[in-house]
Amino acid sequence: ADSAADELGINRPVMLNFPDNRLDSIPLLDIIQQVEKVVDQILPDILYIHHNGDLNVDHRIAHEAAMTAARPQPGTTIRAIYAFETPSSTEWASDSGKPFHPSRYIDISSHFSKKLAALACYEEEMRPFPHARSIEAISALASLRGTSVGLEKAEAFFTIREIHPG
């Protein structure tokens, strides 16, 4: 994750060091409290979080913890929350549950090569085509999301909350 952040020229992520694929073995309150500490430290205005319908249990629990940590209390700095899709988790989940319905699209056409370079840092996560986490499949998804709104490449998000100044 640090290498990918360096590749993108952004701040390195804060890692909470919970066990991978085992968040369901940890009390939710313990996770929420750790996320709240990060939110209080960083004071974000936008949160990008996992979609709550993802197949991956860690993603669903991370979503729930983030939503709780971002509850709309007076004085919060959070003005928007967007859920992103995760290849091999969002689209593999059952459509009978909570399907991903994009409502916000970001043009990534001019930055797509940087995204691919960042993804290359995740050697253990990437897979050969036709896996959903292959470079080819991720490129196809970016093209699909882009052409859905008249762009070459885009990333899609589900808007959970947006607060606009009056």
Helix (H) or strand (E) holding 33, with range, is helix 28-42
Residue 8 buriedness (CB in 10 A; 0-12 / 13-18 / 19+): middle
Q: What is the pLDDT of residues 17-55, one digit of tens each?
A: 999 999 999 999 999 999 999 999 999 999 999 999 999
Among 122, 101, 114, residue whose Cα is nearest residue 52: 101
pLDDT at residue 138, rounded to an integer: 98
Q: What is the pLDDT of residues 107-141, one digit of tens each?
A: 999 999 999 999 999 999 999 999 999 999 999 99
pLDDT tens string 47-99: 999 999 999 999 999 999 999 999 999 999 999 999 999 999 999 998 878 99
Sequence-ordered strand ranges (E) for the chain: 46-50, 80-84, 104-107, 154-162
pLDDT score for 97: 82
Look-up: residue for tokens 């509850």? 71
- Tell me the C-alpha distance between 58 and 62, whole Å: 6
> Which CB contacts under 8 angstroms, 24+ apart, belong to 39-44?
39/69, 39/70, 39/78, 41/14, 42/14, 43/77, 44/77, 44/78
Q: What are the structure tokens assigned to 50, written together?
A: 């996992």
Q: Please report the pLDDT score of residue 96 as a whole number.
A: 79
**In the chain, pLDDT over 70 holds for what percent of residues?**
100
pTM assigned to the model: 0.95
Domain made up of 2-162: CATH architecture: 3-Layer(aba) Sandwich (3.40)
